[in-house]
Amino acid sequence: MPSPRDVDLRVDLAGILLPNPVMTASGCAAAGRELDAFFDVADLGAVVTKSIMLDPRAGRPTPRMAETPSGMLNSIGLQGPGIDSFLGQELPWLARRRARAVVSIAGSTLGEYAELARRVGSSPGVSAVEVNISCPNVANRGMVFACDPYQAAKVIAVVRRDVPRGVPVFAKLSPDVTDLVGVAEAVVAAGASGLSMINTTLGLAIDPGTLRPVLGGVTGGLSGPAIRPLALRCVWQVHQAMPDVPIIGIGGIKTGFDALAFLVAGASTVQVGTVIFHDPGAPMRIVAELRDELSRRAFTSAAQVVGLAHTPATDSLAATDLEGLRTP
């Protein structure tokens, strides 16, 4: 059994080399600065920054969150300082700290996405771009881009055009669709280097005091361990259909084993989101736990397990004497 030290966690994600497969999820780590009090953000696979829009945004009214069983709802409404402030202050900080930055962008029109792609694409210190397409499309009666393969593909096409070749572009998919594989195929055909899955699923909570929706935004995004089985299913289905497309697995990851489950389901890397709120040290704890989970199963690298669950179980693996597998 290789010692945890000997496990090679490095992964190649659509051409970018990361020291390990654990990233923070957009909107759950701001731009990394606050987490630096809990661990060195440069030790992460990458920091994915909060989705940034062109202009400053005040977001939605409060309450913006509701706790739900093993999860939470949020309706932040993409509050943020706008791209100028982001590129001027936050991105340089990450670069100075030598952290890998994946910049998440969000727009309400194709034009906004294109403009953001130009601005971000021409900035130094961007490892990759993640395109948050779970935004209402003002030109299409507010229908969310991610829910329509055609509109989703158009966003990716305009972004891809303006981001330099060496910088991969990830499309972040919503699970709230009938045909997820269809959306995935459309955005890959439009030039996405890979897929981030999943964004939150739409939910609602009722306030016991007012008997009205808790959230200022009425509905909100459900996240956390509650949605992990849903996220794993999405990763599984898309990897099954398109085994060569790099996937970033996201949704309720809390432990190193959860990260491993996403890798074997077909993800090349993972993002940790809501669980950071529970445990600010979670991302680096998960890196260490993933190392252990791999080592006790006699794997020598993270890369080798990607998609493993799609292959038939071998006896040797099933028989590995894991703690927790009892022989009475």
Partner 1 sequence: MTASAGPLQQRAEVLSRKQIGAYHILTLVAPGVAERCRPGHFAALAVGGPESGMLLRRAFSIYRVRESGTYGGTLDVVFDVHGPGTAWLATRGPHDIVDVVAPLGRPFALPADQVPCVLVGGGYGSAPLFTLADRLRERGCTVHMVLGASTEQRLFGALEARRSAHSSVVTTEDGSVGVRGRVTDVLSEVVGRSGAAVVYACGPMAMLAAVAGVAEAHGAWSQCAVEEAMACGIGVCMTCVLPVVGDDGRTRMVRSCVEGPVFRGDRVRWSDVGTVPADALGAARGGP
* Active-site residue set: 135
**Amino acid, single-letter form, for residue 5:** R
Shortest distance in whole angstroms from residue 218 CB to partner 1: 12
**CB closer to partner 1 out of 154 and 193:** 154
The footprint of a copy of itself on residues 121-180 (CB under 8 A) is 147-148, 176-179
What does 2 interact with, of ligand FMN, partner 1, a copy of itself, none (CB < 5 to 8 A by kind)?
Answer: none
Shortest distance in whole angstroms from residue 15 CB to partner 1: 28
Closest CA to 144 of 181, 115, 183: 183
- Angle CA(309)–CA(27)–CA(132) in degrees, nearest 5? 70
Between CA 311 and CA 327 the distance in angstroms is: 26
**CB closer to a copy of itself out of 32 and 71:** 71
**CB closer to a copy of itself out of 193 and 199:** 199
Interface with ligand FMN, residue 49, by CB under 6 A: no
Between CA 170 and CA 156 the distance in angstroms is: 8
Q: Binding marks (x or -) toward ligand FMN, 98..127, rule CB under 6 A? A: ------x-----------------------
Shortest distance in whole angstroms from residue 313 CB to a copy of itself: 5
List the end-to-end C-alpha distance of the chain, in Å, as a whole number: 23
| 3-state secondary structure (DSSP) of residue 116 | helix
What does 26 interact with, of ligand FMN, a copy of itself, partner 1, none (CB < 5 to 8 A by kind)?
Answer: ligand FMN
Sole window of 35-43, 53-61, 72-80, 211-219 interacting with ligand FMN (rule: CB under 6 A): 72-80
**How far are the Cα atoms of 205, 206, 208, 217 from residue 211, in angstroms, in the given order?**
10, 6, 5, 15
Joined together, the tokens standing for residue 127 give: 């490892």
CA 291 to chain CA centroid, Å, is: 20
Strand partners, 273: none
Sole window of 2-10, 114-122, 189-197, 318-326 interacting with a copy of itself (rule: CB under 8 A): 318-326
**CB closer to a copy of itself out of 32 and 249:** 249
- Residue 258 near residue 107 (C-beta atoms within 8 A): no
Based on the number of CB atoms within 10 Å of its own CB, is 216 exposed (0-12), middle (13-18) or buried (19 or more)?
middle
Interface with a copy of itself, residue 209, by CB under 8 A: yes
| 3-state secondary structure (DSSP) of residue 149 | helix
Strand partners, 71: 68
Interface with a copy of itself by CB under 8 A: which residues?
Answer: 66, 68-71, 73, 147-148, 176-179, 201-206, 208-213, 218-219, 222, 224-230, 232-233, 236, 252, 257, 260-261, 264-265, 297, 305, 308-309, 313, 317-318, 320, 322, 324-325
